[in-house]
Amino acid sequence: MSSDLLRQLLHNQLVWSILLIVGVVLARYLLSQMFKNSSWARQDIRRRIHMVHNFGNLVMVVGLFAIWVSELRDFALSIAAFSVAIVIALRDVVQCLVGGIYQASMRSFTIGDWVRIGDQFGEVIDNNWLSTTLLEIDPHGLGNGYTGTTLYVPNSVFFSQSVKNLNFMRRYIEHTFSIVRESKGQNPFVVKQFITDRVLQYCESFKDVAERYCKLIENRMGVELASTEPKIEFRTSDIGHDVLTITLFCPREAATEIEQKVTEDFYRFWYGNTGSNTEAGQAATPVKN
């Protein structure tokens, strides 16, 4: 009696399926815990856990397919009339699967990279066959970086939207900001030398490091980037206001602080006390309005 029961269990595909799923989940959990308790760097731990999860999912899918292949074959024959409906129903899943294979072959990013997928901008924290998980980063919140929002992007978007790897933005960025002032008949260029001196002063502490980092990016990407020297230019808006635009290559964390300091210096030149005419580059005396 017991031997017959055992024989039935050994030939029961449902039992084998449950054993396979439990075994894969248990092995994946044990390996993940072992990696988390290791002394490796956090980035390496996340990559290894990601590999274990993907490999476990692959083993589970292949194993279940092997267990149920005979039933699936009979089932496929019995639903031949509904094949078109099934293809339509699984279209999104197939697109995500193919998109995952496409991304893996292109190697456009890996775990820990900063990427922009369409309008979504974040750090890749997980990537499987169907979706990519991003920890959102606000490109305008340069001082804080992470917003605390987790984005789940289906892999099918890789066929319809561009993918930009922004990993080099983690340290230094080309930051551009503008200051708009109502034109009151004065020559706006009298402030240019003063602002230029201020920007150079704020960038002096990291100038050498910025140049080396720019060279590193050029060597790895095989392109020639613009100079790391700050760029200051004037233009007018559609309604006749003076627009001062400043572009500088600086550490990401310092971008907002430098922008605020330069903006404060600009308005102090026109409306406040700059300290001395020498400090203003002796180009002009601050205008009181």
In this structure, are 127 and 155 located in the same domain?
Answer: yes
CA distance 53 to 41: 19
Quick one: pLDDT at residue 133?
A: 92
Quick one: pLDDT at residue 163?
A: 86
Kindly list the distances between the CA atom of residue 70 and the CA atoms of 21, 67, 89, in Å, as whole numbers in the listed order.
Answer: 19, 8, 23
In the chain, the number of structural domains is: 3
> Is residue 278 one of the residues assigned to a domain?
no
**Torsion region of 145: left, alpha or beta (phi above 0 gives left; psi -120 to 50 gives alpha):** left
pTM for this one? 0.52
Which residue matches tokens 């050029």? Answer: 218
> Is residue 23 one of the residues assigned to a domain?
yes
Domain boundary (30, 56, 78) is at 78
Which residue matches tokens 């808006």? Answer: 237
Domain boundary (78, 112, 139) is at 78
> Is residue 58 one of the residues assigned to a domain?
yes
Structural domain including 185 reads 171-271
Q: What is the CATH number of the domain that holds 209?
A: 3.30.70
Triad 19, 86, 91: Cα angle to 5°: 95
> Is residue 9 one of the residues assigned to a domain?
yes
The pLDDT profile of the chain, 289 residues, written as one tens digit per residue, is 556 655 666 667 788 888 889 999 999 999 988 888 888 887 788 888 888 888 888 898 888 888 878 777 766 666 665 666 776 777 788 888 888 888 888 778 888 888 888 888 888 888 888 899 998 887 655 545 678 889 999 988 888 888 888 777 677 888 889 999 888 778 888 889 999 999 999 998 888 888 888 787 777 665 566 677 889 999 988 888 899 999 988 888 888 889 999 999 999 988 875 444 434 334 333 433 3
